[in-house]
Amino acid sequence: MSVLSSIGRIATRYAAARARYRSERILLSLPAALRKDIGFPEAFDAQNNSRV
C-alpha cells in the first residue's frame, strides 16, 4: 500500500463525510412539517441510534 493510495482513501472518506453532514444540515434547516412529510426524522433517529 503506497502513501498516495492511503491519502486518496482518506480524502474520499472525508469528502463523503462532508457531503453527508452537509445534507443533514440542509434537511435539519427545513420546517418540521416538511421533514416529517419526507420521513427525515425517522431515518435520522434510526441512524443516530445505531451509532450509540
* DSSP-assigned states of every residue in 4-49: HHHHHHHHHHHHHHHHHHHHHHHHHHS-HHHHHHHTHHHHHHHHHH
Amino acid at 30: L
Question: Could you tell me the pTM of the whole model?
Answer: 0.61
The grid coordinates of residue 8 equal 486518496
Percent of the chain with pLDDT over 70: 75
Distance (Å, rounded) from C-alpha 44 to C-alpha 26? 13
Mean of pLDDT over the chain: 84
Number of domains the chain is built from:
1
pLDDT band at 44 (very low <50, low <70, confident <90, very high): low
- Given a cut of 80, is residue 11 above it in pLDDT? yes
Cα 37 from Cα 30, distance rounded (Å):
11
Domain enclosing residue 30, as ranges: 3-51
